[in-house]
Amino acid sequence: MRAIAVSEVGATPTLMNLPTPAPGPGEILVKVVAAGINPFDWKIVDGALKDSVPYSFPLIMGVDGAGVVEAAGEGVTDLRAGEQVYGQFFGVPRGLGSYAEYAIAKADGPVARMPQGMIYTQAAAVPTATMTAYNAVRLANVDEGQTVLVVGATGGVGQSVVQLAGATGAKVIATARADMAEEMRELGAAEVVDYAAGDLNEQVLRAHADGIDAILDVVSDKTGVERLAALLRPGGVYLSTIWSVNPDAMAAQELRGVNMDSEASAELLETIAGLIDAGKLKVHVHHEVALEDVPAEIMRMRAGGARGKTVIRV
Ligand SMILES: NC(=O)c1ccc[n+]([C@@H]2O[C@H](COP(=O)([O-])OP(=O)(O)OC[C@H]3O[C@@H](n4cnc5c(N)ncnc54)[C@H](OP(=O)(O)O)[C@@H]3O)[C@@H](O)[C@H]2O)c1
Dump pLDDT digits (tens) for 139-171. Answer: 999 999 999 999 999 999 999 999 999 999 999
* 106 plus 60 within the same structural domain: yes
pLDDT tens for residues 218-238?
A: 999 999 999 999 999 999 999
User: In which band, very low, low, confident or very high, does the pLDDT at 273 lie, cut at 50, 70 and 90?
Assistant: very high
Ligand 1 center to residue 38 CA distance, Å?
9
Ligand 1, pocket-test mutation among 44, 126, 154, most atoms within 8 A of CB: 154
Kindly state whether residue 225 falls inside one of the protein's structural domains.
yes
Classify residue 272: in a domain, yes or no: no
> Which whole number is the average pLDDT over 260-283?
95
Q: Do residues 105 and 123 make contact, with C-beta atoms less than 8 angstroms apart?
A: no
Q: Residue 98: how many CB atoms within 10 A of its CB?
A: 35
Residue 4 near residue 99 (C-beta atoms within 8 A) = yes
**Closest atom of ligand 1 to CA, residue 307:** 43
Residue 270 lies in a domain: no
- CA dihedral over 110, 35, 285, 6, signed as positive or negative: positive
User: How many domains does the chain contain in total?
Assistant: 2
> Residue 168, Cβ neighbours under 10 Å: how many?
16
Distance CA 29, CA 176 (A): 39
Q: Is the pLDDT of residue 10 over 90?
A: yes
The pLDDT value given to residue 164: 98
Report d(CA 45, CA 62) in Å as an integer: 10
User: Residue 222: which CATH number?
Assistant: 3.90.180.10
Query: From the alpha carbon of 154, which atom of ligand 1 is closest?
Result: 43
Same domain (yes/no): 133, 253: yes
φ and ψ at residue 111, rounded to 5 degrees: -135, 135
Handedness of CA 125, 13, 39, 109 (dihedral sign): positive
Q: Both 147 and 251 in a single domain? A: yes
Specify the residue with its C-alpha closest to ligand 1, atom 32: 152
Measured from the Cα of 304, ligand 1's closest atom is: 39
- Residues 154 and 226 placed together within one structural domain of the fold: yes
Pocket around ligand 1 at a 6 A CB cut-off: 38-40, 43, 128-129, 132, 151-152, 154-158, 175, 177, 195, 218-219, 241-242, 260-262, 304-306
Do 70 and 158 belong to one domain?
A: no
Instruction: Say yes or no to pLDDT of 109 above 90.
Output: yes
Q: Does some domain include residue 212?
A: yes
Q: How far apart (Å, rounded) are the C-alpha atoms in residues 268 and 248? A: 31
CA 270, 272, 277 angle in degrees (round to 5)? Answer: 90
Does one domain contain both 154 and 34? no
201 and 142 both lie in a single domain: yes
Q: Say if 275 falls within a structural domain.
A: no
Domain match, 232 and 187 both: yes
Neighbours of 292 (CB within 10 A): 11
Whole-angstrom Cα distance, residue 117 to residue 273?
Answer: 9
Say if residue 134 is in the same domain as residue 22: no
Strand 191-193, strand 171-175: pairing: parallel
| Number of CB atoms found within 10 A of residue 225's CB | 21
What are the Cα distances from residue 281, in Å, to 159, 286, 294? 10, 16, 27
Mutate to test the pocket of ligand 1, among 157, 180, 215, 285 (most ligand atoms within 8 A of CB): 157
Give pLDDT, residue 238: 98
- Are residues 173 and 247 both part of a single domain? yes
Nearest CA to ligand 1 atom 25: 152
| Band of pLDDT at residue 91, cut at 50, 70 and 90 | very high
DSSP 12: P
Distance in Å, CA 218 to ligand 1 centroid: 5
Residue 33 in any domain: the answer is: yes
The mean per-residue pLDDT over the stretch 205-213 comes to: 97
Same domain, 160 and 212: yes
Residue 116: the pLDDT is 83
Burial pattern 125-139, b for ≥16 Cβ within 10 A else e, equals bbbbbbbbbbbbbeb
Instruction: Using DSSP, state whether 239 is helix, strand or coil.
Output: strand
Say how many Å lie between the CA of residue 176 and the centre of ligand 1: 12
Residue nearest to atom 8 of ligand 1 (CA): 241
| Candidate of 159, 204, 241 to mutate for ligand 1, largest count of ligand atoms within 8 Å of Cβ | 241
Task: Indicate if 145 and 255 belong to the same structural domain.
Answer: yes
Q: Tell me the pLDDT tens digit for each residue of 25-61.
A: 999 999 999 999 999 999 999 999 999 999 999 999 9
Question: What number of CA atoms fall less than 13 Å from residue 195's CA on the CB side?
Answer: 16
Q: Compute the distance from residue 174 Cα to the ligand 1 centre, in Å.
A: 13
Domain range holding 191? 129-259
Per-residue pLDDT, 117:
85
- 53: in domain: yes
Summary mean pLDDT of the chain: 97
Residues 115-142: tens digit of each pLDDT: 888 999 999 999 999 999 999 999 999 9
Instruction: Report if residue 145 sits inside a domain.
Output: yes
